């Protein structure tokens, strides 16, 4: 699962040691122009709940459908912010963005990318196209909260997101909103 190719991206991922912190700005950039790979269970859930037309076939892979402007069909506008309307069944590829948590140093700089998680060597990179990344030495808070949550998601140790997604989703206003009523962008 952790070797799953997440999004198609042309910028070289950067080792986690150069990430000072990360906070999602809900800019929606990662939901535009990228192909989201679905595993079989995720594809089945989308098909069962929304219909096969919300997915797109690929060679040996399933994807989420794009709109004509290249954005994900589940991307919604909320007061000018890009919000995912698939929160209750968000694909793992989306949950892990912008981090890539791998079992080998696929993008080089192994010494900077290696991360010891409970005695297990992982290689962690961040996609620099995400504007939510701040560069520098990692803060203790980033390591303990967001990065740990991304690792646990990748390893299948947790499903729910809190520190690995936009804080806006936990605002009282947003929680009151019926997410099904969000207007599609
Ligand atoms: S993860 Fe990054 S690119 Fe995606 S919405 Fe958040 S800040 Fe924007
Ligand atoms: S499923 Fe949600 S998070 Fe993933 S690309 Fe679509 S709108 Fe963005």
List pLDDT tens digits, range 94-153. 999 999 999 999 999 999 999 999 999 999 999 999 999 999 999 999 999 999 999 999
Query: Is position 173 within any domain?
Result: yes
Q: Report how far apart the first and last C-alpha atoms of the chain are (Å, whole number).
A: 31
List pLDDT tens digits, range 29-72. 999 978 899 999 999 999 999 999 999 998 889 999 999 999 99
**pLDDT for residue 6:** 44
Query: Is the model's pLDDT at 19 over the cut of 70?
Result: yes
**pLDDT for residue 174:** 67
Query: Is position 8 within any domain?
Result: no
List pLDDT tens digits, range 144-182. 999 999 999 999 999 999 999 998 776 766 666 645 555
Output the residue whose Cα is nearest ligand 1's atom 1. Answer: 24
Query: Is position 4 within any domain?
Result: no
**pLDDT for residue 147:** 98
Dihedral, CA of residue 112, residue 143, residue 36 and residue 127, to nearest 10: -40
**Token pair 């947790």 in the structure block, residue:** 158
Query: Is position 7 within any domain?
Result: no
Listed in sequence order, the residues at least 6 apart from 84 whose beta carbon sits closer than 8 Å to its beta carbon are: 31, 72, 74, 75, 76, 90, 94
**pLDDT for residue 177:** 61
Residues lining ligand 1, Cβ inside 6 A: 24-30, 82, 97-98, 130-132
**Cβ of 94 below 6 Å from ligand 2:** yes
Range of the domain at 111: 14-181
Query: Is position 3 within any domain?
Result: no
Q: Report d(CA 59, CA 73) in Å as an integer.
A: 20
3-state SS, one letter per residue, for 142-170? HHHHHHHHHHHHHCCCCCCCCCCCCHHHH
Question: Where is 113: in which H helix or E strand?
Answer: helix 110-113
Output the residue whose Cα is nearest ligand 1's atom 4. Answer: 30
Query: Is position 5 within any domain?
Result: no
For ligand 2, mutation pick of 26, 91, 96, 164 (most atoms within 8 Å of CB): 91
**pLDDT for residue 5:** 43
Query: Is position 171 within any domain?
Result: yes
Number of domains in the chain: 1
């Amino acid at each position: 699962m952790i070797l799953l190719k997440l999004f198609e991206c042309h910028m070289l991922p950067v080792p986690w040691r150069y990430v000072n912190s990360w906070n999602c700005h809900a800019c929606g950039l990662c939901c535009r122009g990228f192909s989201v790979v679905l595993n079989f269970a995720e594809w089945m859930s989308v098909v069962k709940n929304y219909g096969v037309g919300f997915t797109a076939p690929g060679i040996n892979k399933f994807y989420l459908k794009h709109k004509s402007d290249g954005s994900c069909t589940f991307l919604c506008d909320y007061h000018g912010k890009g919000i995912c309307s698939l929160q209750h069944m968000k694909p793992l590829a989306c949950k892990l963005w912008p981090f890539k948590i791998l079992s080998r140093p696929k993008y080089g700089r192994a010494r900077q990318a290696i991360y010891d998680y409970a005695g297990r060597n992982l290689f962690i990179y961040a996609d620099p196209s995400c504007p939510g990344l701040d560069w520098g030495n990692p803060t203790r808070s980033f390591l303990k909260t967001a990065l740990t949550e991304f690792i646990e998601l990748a390893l299948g140790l947790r499903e729910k997101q809190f520190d690995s997604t936009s804080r806006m989703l936990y605002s009282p206003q947003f929680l009151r909103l019926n997410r099904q009523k969000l207007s599609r962008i």
